[in-house]
Amino acid sequence: MNIENLKTFITLSELKNFTQTADRYYIVQSTVTNRIMELEKGLGKKLFIRNRKNVELTEEGLHFLSYAKRIVALEASAIEELSMLHTFSESLRIGTVNTVYDCYLGQPIMDYIRNHKDISLKVIIDHSGTLLRMLQDGTLDLAFTYIPLKKAGFICKPFHTDDLVLVTSPVHQEYKDGVRQSQLPDLNYLYCDFMIQDNGTFIRDLFPKNYSFPFEIDKLTHLLPYLLEGIGCTFLPRTLVQNYLDEGKLISIPLLDFEAPTIQNHIVIPENRIDSHALGLFLESVGADTEDTV
pLDDT in tens, 202-211: 788 889 988 9
* H or E stretch covering 148: none
User: Could you tell me if 215 and 223 are in contact, meaning their C-beta atoms sit under 8 angstroms apart?
Assistant: no
Cα 49 to Cα 58: distance, rounded to the nearest angstrom: 6
Cβ neighbours of residue 3 closer than 8 Å, sequence gap 6 or more: 71, 72, 75
Helices and strands (DSSP H and E) totals, the chain: 11, 12
Query: 88-160+264-286, what's its fold?
Result: D-Maltodextrin-Binding Protein; domain 2 (3.40.190)
Q: Is 287 left (phi over 0), alpha (psi -120 to 50) or beta?
A: left
- Percent of the chain residues past pLDDT 90, beyond the cut: 47
Instruction: Provide CATH 3.40.190.10 ranges for the chain.
Output: 88-160+264-286, 164-261
pLDDT of residue 195: 56
Handedness of CA 174, 180, 184, 185 (dihedral sign): negative
pTM score of the predicted model: 0.67
User: Could you tell me if 267 and 143 are in contact, meaning their C-beta atoms sit under 8 angstroms apart?
Assistant: yes
pLDDT beneath 50, residues of the chain: 197-199, 292-294
- Establish how many alpha carbons lie within 13 A of residue 33's alpha carbon, considering only the half-sphere containing its beta carbon: 5
pLDDT of residue 84: 60
Query: 164-261, what's its fold?
Result: D-Maltodextrin-Binding Protein; domain 2 (3.40.190)
CATH number for the domain formed by residue range(s) 3-80 = 1.10.10.10
